[in-house]
Structure 1
């Protein structure tokens, strides 16, 4: 079995990060190195955060220089050009039975590869959240036009990853593929590593006397639904005026200012921390009263897994792969729909639930057994070894 793998990704973080795909791609690379694969990373230099680890060969496939200003809406076109540049490299360097693993819309590279390269290599796509198929700002339509076309080239791959059972029909529908191409391999996290950085004593929930400390993690983008959370907390505050609600969010994004304005208007206490260390984030999860994931649409949701690792009380919307992880009133609490009122009602129910400690423990046990990083490592190795060209 050939153990050479090319990993293609537009951006990746080997440092502290709250981005789902960036973290997942990093973990995938490190685990493949650990089990003996020779990994070559293809990624633009300017889109790498942190230091490339030992054991990884790096090839800089540069991003188009003219894609500098977000207001110009050229990212989608630049992504298309970048995928073409990646294909030029792979057309001359990929050999028989080499593995090419694409993350996100980098799958568009498949549309530019020579047919003989596709036929003699093992090609795998993890489409992640597929935000290209969701709704969003009208100003991003041009970018989504290109990125959607790119990710739809996934049909040319030998295997496409669905990270959750509930996402299998979504992957099939969005990418136009049949069952035989879709393989279930969860996005996972290093459970022990996340727990090893904990240094604080866990809080006991006592909202009436100590205040209610809420944590959320993720990019401040429309699809993440943090405006929904802001409005829900406004309702909660009006119905529980004696409770001091403090919301801390870890992450950055284009919706930062609009969210801050909303919270000022709604009299919601919000603190946004953009460059926190992973140690700070994990300890904040460990000591918070509630973790909330209010997404409008979502992929696998690694942040939900991180919260489960620490036995957080979790409230989330029923989108993407979240319901595969948060089983209502067993490992957390799911909203009935994606509205501020529903989120408020679910939060209220969670805080009044008598056996919260059982739900928290269930979440910890479930993430250990199903979403620890060694689970995905074993499944990726088995998938790669199942192909032989």
Structure 2
């Protein structure tokens, strides 16, 4: 069946967004939030979206601003495809479970999208993560679908960056699927300029088909989460007023986040730190017990507090009452927590991993250090302490960077411009090969 051509790129754009999960229906992770903000901000620009995702759980709360903004939006139509086909025998998102679930899910999702596309009701297909696999397979089976431009966002590509040989082996099927499927797309997205070469180097994507569209945060939403009363309660509960210096770090408590190096670095600097200092660690993970034991053995237990997971309101309120944000990760995707810290005017000490060098500029809004280098981290923290008078200036500079380049309204406009460029290219070339 031939696809009905779109008469003009000036009409209301119709985008099929393919993902496995979206906030607040399926979770609170980075990709889930990315999809939520992308589709809602595109709808603010007048784009009509068909959002294809996995089955929505029956117990999802239907109250709240986020649910209304997504599910009661007249420009967003939700479509569901069953994802979990392994329970109760396997956890659906275990490595083995995903190897069963993803190929079936993405194929069925893409097949359903293709029916809509064949009726001329889609201008652009935008895939998130491994959802590119199903669409790539369906486009091979139905070559006429290549007339519809596809953007594909592989996100952080942690499957390529994990240094544990066991995970490297386990992730081999995912790497093969990621690489093949993103080479089929008309445009593959790098979420940071400094990581754009990862797509050709790791996935084999043609460099001429790479576009930089940053991951972002919603500045208004982030700052709107700040609750002064809640912040004061946290200050009292955590006794922050009794400390001269408060560090904060936010992430999963995993080995690759580099927290073992941070604790060792702070132990080396104990003579330079004020008598009353505190490190707040927000997050959960399998390294929690090891980190608690390390803090104890280094004599830092009274200075280190592992807070577990905080709600958005708690976290954004807490950002307002700390002095320095530290992110010692060994490898990273785009790092949204760094953006969150920056919009709250915090100076940042972080490793030059993933997309962080696009956000943290040494001497301008913080300090960058090589990843997995304890000596460099010690030196950077020492320098930051020496330059503490500049922290307010660094914080203001960081907030300006976020507003200029990493706020969702800005990135949504860039995404829309990329859609139109792809459609214009199709119009001039008479379709993609």
Check whether TM > 0.5.
Answer: yes
1:9 aligns with 2:19: yes
Question: Corresponding residue for 1:180?
Answer: 208
Matches within 5 A, 1:1-389: 1=9, 3-14=13-24, 19-45=29-55, 51=67, 52-55=70-73, 56-66=76-86, 68-69=90-91, 73-95=96-118, 96=120, 97-115=122-140, 116=143, 118-141=145-168, 143-152=170-179, 153-200=181-228, 210-237=243-270, 239-240=271-272, 243-269=275-301, 270-353=304-387, 354-388=389-423, 389=426
Cα distance, 1:16–1:251 mapped onto 2, change above 3 Å: farther
Secondary structure at the aligned position of 2:127 is classed as strand
Secondary structure at the aligned position of 2:138 is classed as coil
Shift of the alpha carbon at 1:143? Answer: 4.2
Cα distance, 1:229–1:34 mapped onto 2, change above 3 Å: same
TM-score for both structures, normalised by structure 1: 0.88
Describe the superposition over 1:204-256 as per-residue Cα deviations: whole angstroms up to 9, x where unpaired: xxx9972432222223334332333233333334x447533433233333433
Shift of the alpha carbon at 1:23? Answer: 1.8
TM-score for both structures, normalised by structure 2: 0.80
Q: Figure out how many residues of one structure are paired with residues of the other and give that number.
A: 385
Cα distance, 1:333–1:28 mapped onto 2, change above 3 Å: same
Larger radius of gyration: 2
Contact between 1:106 and 1:151, CA under 8 Å: does it hold in 2? no
Cα distance, 1:290–1:22 mapped onto 2, change above 3 Å: same
Shifted more, 1-10 versus 15-24: the winner is: 15-24
Distance 2:349 2:175 in 1: 30
Unaligned segments of structure 1, at least 5 residues: none
Describe the superposition over 1:51-97 as per-residue Cα deviations: whole angstroms up to 9, x where unpaired: 45322322222223315337774323432332222222223232445
Distance 2:192 2:60 in 1: 27
Distance 2:45 2:345 in 1: 29
Shift of the alpha carbon at 1:31? Answer: 0.6
Describe the superposition over 1:88-114 as per-residue Cα deviations: whole angstroms up to 9, x where unpaired: 222323244532211122222233213
Contact between 1:251 and 1:275, CA under 8 Å: does it hold in 2? yes
Q: RMSD of aligned C-alpha atoms?
A: 2.9
Cα distance, 1:19–1:53 mapped onto 2, change above 3 Å: same
